[in-house]
Structure 1
Amino acid sequence: MDERLTLRSHLDQSASQTPHGAALGDVIKAIAAAAIELAALIADGPLVGIIGQDGDVNPDGDRQKDIDVAADAVIRRALRDTAVAAVLSEEAVLPETLRPTAPFCVAIDPLDGSANLENNISVGTIFSVRPRGNDVLSTFFEPGTAQCAAGFIVYGPQTTLVLALNARVDIFILDRRAREFLLIRPAAQIARNTPEFAINASNRRHWHGPVRTYIDECLAGTNGGGEADFNMRWIGSLVAESLRILVRGGVFLYPADARPSYREGRLRLLYEAHPMALVMEWAGGAASTGRRRILEVAARTLHQRVPLIMGSVLGVRDVAAIHERTEPMFDNSDAPLFARRGLFL
């Protein structure tokens, strides 16, 4: 097999293209090193005392598991020797200040989808890096366009690292023997229009009209006047869904809905939606709330939730088009208004 470029070499080559490029490379190398440690910890699981036991409640009200706490500790430890002013984690109420004058701030979900581990389903780490502003805290309240790098790691059959840096997206895979990430897909691009969608269909009764209309039309396919018949996918793991979109295309929807705890969406803006949106856009795709480009949204609170619709640019456009034809409200989705305002009618 031809010798592949390592993540370390890739970052060294990229350093001249970004302000503080060498320091930014060191931040990403530290996250990658933490991911290698976490991959081994996740793989061993109960053999090293990680049994999925519930612990405290995190700032979002989600029950923490032992692996969430362990992952958070591993990543914080890795970042302490880098040029990071502060790190905001899903597992803590406030950012932790590391080096107040350092050039970068990091927002991170240390282990997204930890509840899936008991079923041996892929989980991951999601990260966002942005230049430090005038003060540490205000940095996290800037729009997603402020990010200078983002990405995610999938802990699955392979450990895969997806990196958005310098306006492109590269995919690496962990060589477990060498303990190095190797480049397997440079400059990844998302297919513009794949007839495939991912959504938790069991929540259909809670969806607002635009989402229900879009999914109904996908399911109707060519019988309903559409140009293609759609496949449905739902893994229930954000990182796995995102990697599939990078490889195959399609649209992922985690919308707001009528349930009280979902009215502003469910995914966290700073360390889930913002980094995923940067990955999607730099790979030629799109990401939206349904009514607004995700990267233009600035957080009002550190753990703010938003709807997330992302993937192939034409698919996201279609979802947004239906939203634009309806008023934003908690609607009666069975009303005729929403039956008339689809893509094909």
Structure 2
Amino acid sequence: MQNLSQVLASSAVEDSLQTVLIQTTDTCVAISDVLKQGSLAGILGMAGNENVQGEEQKKLDVISNDMLKDALLACPEVRAIASEEEEDIVPANTKGEYLIAFDPLDGSSNIDINAMVGTIFSIYRQTGDNPATEQDFLIPGKEQVAAGYVLYGPSSMLVLSTGNGVNMFTLDPKTNTFLLTEEGVTIQPETQEFAINMSNQRFWSESIQNYVNDLVKGKEGNRNKNFNMRWVAAMVGDVHRILCRGGIFIYPWDNKDPSKPGKLRLMYEANPMAMLLEQAGGKAYTHTDRILDIQPNAIHQRVAVILGAANEVDKCLSY
């Protein structure tokens, strides 16, 4: 069974990108170890401050962000980082070749109940003679050279694409290495499973309400088949389920908070997940645009997200 380093080398991934990926995933192994300690290490609960998104931070949000930040800033190949937990980008090595955007702990509201959380990352290749700026990060997602996430669940799993399909790796606790356990992940175009936060239904557009109502009606409605609903409350968990057994994940535009019509962050969540989904044969859109084509206007930009099985995404967009 091949480990991550062997898979990257055999896939002809550039040495410099291999270094960045190994540094990132090794840090995720360390985060996994911290998570396993839970309340024994006094890491649960609130940190007592808010992040740049205006969300109250968990202690582990801060811990995981600092771990990734410190590790990546020390990597000579990294030019700069952008984190969901940081107000501004953080320049690293001017001569570095890669920009990394990450959500250090997606689904952190699940921490205190011992449910799924994960780290999501997105990597771009970009060089320059001057220290990196926010403008350097404003690159469409289709320019990503790698994207992935590490899911911290019953077993810790790495899901990764370097632009040539999607592979899944499982962390071997005996060696603390990621071993390839599924190669060439694909998503079937049809599905009977959807993920959406139904508590926000009253804030959705009429078209999305009509679409979800038709899913709920099942065989008795005009879709002529029954659907199951699943909701992990962590994008990383819901996307992982889709990559494993299909489905559609929707976090639509809504009017709950006029200042945040989109919930998920383009740079840290939507772009990397869109790359993974497309590489596996699925689709990823906002209510109007292919996510990977969006020209970002800020590192903390939010968007609506509809991603998953290709035919079901098309059906949702048809509404």
**Where on the TM-score scale, by shorter chain, does this alignment land: which range?**
over 0.9
Q: Indicate conservation of the 8 Å contact 1:173/1:181, yes or no.
A: yes
In structure 1, the partner of 2:45 is: 52
Task: Return the match for 2:196 from 191, 195, 199.
Answer: 199
> Which of 153, 172, 186 is the equivalent residue of 1:156?
153
The corresponding residue for 2:275 is 278
> Partner of 1:300 in structure 2?
297
Partner of 1:165: 162
8 Å contact from structure 2 (residues 61, 108) kept in 1: yes
What SS class does the counterpart of residue 105 from structure 1 fall into?
A: strand
Residue 304 of structure 1 deviates from its aligned partner by: 0.7
1:170, 1:186 within 8 Å by CA — same for their partners in 2? yes
2:68 pairs with 1:75: yes
**Following the alignment from structure 1 to structure 2, what is the Cα–Cα distance between the partners of residues 257 and 239?**
21
Equivalent position to 2:91, from 75, 81, 97: 97
Find the aligned partners of 1:28 and 1:177 in 2 and give their Cα distance: 21
Partner in structure 1 of residue 79 of structure 2: 85
Moved more, 43-52 or 182-191: 43-52
**Pair member with larger Rg:** 1
Q: Which of 107, 112, 121 in structure 1 is aligned with 2:115?
A: 121
Q: Distance in 1 between matches of 2:126 and 2:258?
A: 31
What displacement does 1:101 show? 2.1
SS at 1:168 equivalent: coil
Q: 1:341 corresponds to which residue?
A: none
Partners of 1:262 and 1:295 in 2: how far apart?
23
Residue of structure 1 equivalent to 2:54: 61
- Compute the displacement of 1:116 (Å): 0.6
2:126 to 118, 132, 157: 132
- What's the CA shift for 1:262? 6.4
SS, match of residue 105 in structure 2? strand
What SS does the aligned partner of 1:197 have?
A: strand
Answer yes or no: is the 8 Å Cα contact 1:26–1:82 preserved in 2: no
Q: Tell me by how many angstroms 1:199 deviates.
A: 0.4
Give how far 1:260 is off.
2.0
Q: CA RMSD in A?
A: 1.3
Secondary structure in 2 aligned to 1:148?
Answer: strand
The alignment status of 1:8 with 2:2, answered yes or no, reads no
Of 27, 33, 44, which residue of structure 2 is paired with 1:34?
27
Deviations 1:124-144 (A, max 9, x none): 000000011556333311111
8 Å CA contact 2:46, 2:56 repeated in 1 = no
**1:59 match: secondary structure:** coil
CA distance in 2, matches of 1:223, 1:42: 45
Q: Distance in 1 between matches of 2:301 and 2:190?
A: 30
Task: Please say if 1:244 is aligned against 2:244.
Answer: no
Task: Select between 103-112 and 221-230 the one with higher mean Cα deviation.
Answer: 221-230
Structure 1 position 245, deviation (Å)? 0.1
Indicate conservation of the 8 Å contact 1:190/1:245, yes or no. Answer: yes
The more displaced of 222-231 and 32-41 is 222-231
Letter in 1 for 2:238: E
Instruction: Give, in whole Å, the separation in 1 of the partners of 2:225 and 2:137.
Output: 41
What is the match of residue 315 of structure 1?
Answer: 312
Offset, 1:160:
0.6
- Alpha-carbon distance in structure 2 between the residues aligned to 1:101 and 1:95: 16
Identity %: 37
Structure 1 SS opposite 2:232: coil
- The secondary structure found in structure 1 opposite 2:218 is helix
Q: TM-score, normalised by structure 1?
A: 0.89
Q: Which runs of no fewer than 5 residues in structure 2 stay unpaired?
A: none
Q: Offset of 1:55 from its aligned partner?
A: 2.4
Helix, strand or coil: the match of 2:115? coil
Does the CA-based 8 Å contact 1:105-1:132 persist in structure 2? yes
Distance 2:289 2:314 in 1: 11
CA contact (8 A) 2:65 2:83 kept: yes
**1:218 Cα deviation after fit:** 0.8
